[in-house]
Structure 1
C-alpha cells in the first residue's frame, strides 16, 4: 500500500524543520493510514532538542480531545533530523509505541515515512512505508 501525502503538508513540515535548525522540529500528522492530509507543528520540549524531540504533552492531549469529538484523526507524528538522515534513530525506536502510527522524518530535502510496530526492520520497531506526494 502506498500512502498519499499532501504536497502542502510536506512543504510546510520542511519549512518549519529548516527554520528550527539546529533543533529538531516536531508535530502531528492528520488523516488516515492511506492519506496524510494535515499537519500541526508542536513545541519540542525535549531536554536536548538538538539531539531528540518530545512533543509538548498538552498539544497532544488537545489534539486527542478534538479527535474524540469527531475532529481530524491523528495518523502519526513527524520530526526532523537536522543531521541529515531521515531514518529512525535508536532513540526514536525507544520512544515509539508499537501502535501502528506513521512517523514522517525530514532531513533537509529528504523525507521518509515509517510505521511503528511490534516488529520492524529498523531497530526492531519501524517499517518503511511507501508514499507519494499529491
Structure 2
C-alpha cells in the first residue's frame, strides 16, 4: 500500500522537532486509509523526555473519541530523536504495540516512516508528500 502525507503535516513535524530540543517532541498522525492529513503535536509526558517519549494520554483518548464520532482516523504517531538517527531505537521497539500503526521519526532535519509490526519489529515505509 502506498502511503501519502500532506506537506503541512511534514512541516509541523519538522518545526516541532527543533523547537522541543533538547527533549523529544511527539504527536499524532491523523487521516483516512493510507493518507496522513495532519500531524498534531502533543505533550511529551515521559519521565525522561530527553531520551524517550510518551504521548499525553488525554490527547490519545480525544483522538480515539473523535475517530469513533466520524472524525479522522488515528493512523500513527511521530517523535524525534534529538541525538540519534531516524530509525526505531531499542526503546521504540520495547514501547511498540505491534498494532500496524505508522511511526514517523524525525532526526537531523529528515522524517523517516515506519510501520509498527507484531513482535516489536518495524518495517520501513515509503511515504509520498502531497500538497496541503
Normalised by the length of structure 1, the TM-score is 0.92
CA distance in 2: counterparts of 1:91 and 1:24, whole angstroms: 13
Which residue is equivalent to 1:131? 127
Q: CA deviation at 1:117?
A: 1.1
List runs of 5+ in structure 2 lacking aligned partners. Answer: none
Is structure 2 residue 64 aligned with structure 1 residue 64? yes
| 1:40 aligned counterpart, secondary structure | strand
The alignment yields a C-alpha RMSD, in angstroms, of: 1.2
Normalised by the length of structure 2, the TM-score is 0.93
Q: Is the 8 A contact 1:18 1:108 kept in 2?
A: no
Aligned length: 130
Which residue is equivalent to 2:3? 3
CA distance in 2: counterparts of 1:9 and 1:26, whole angstroms: 13
Q: Is the 8 A contact 2:24 2:79 kept in 1?
A: yes
CA distance in 1: counterparts of 2:71 and 2:31, whole angstroms: 10
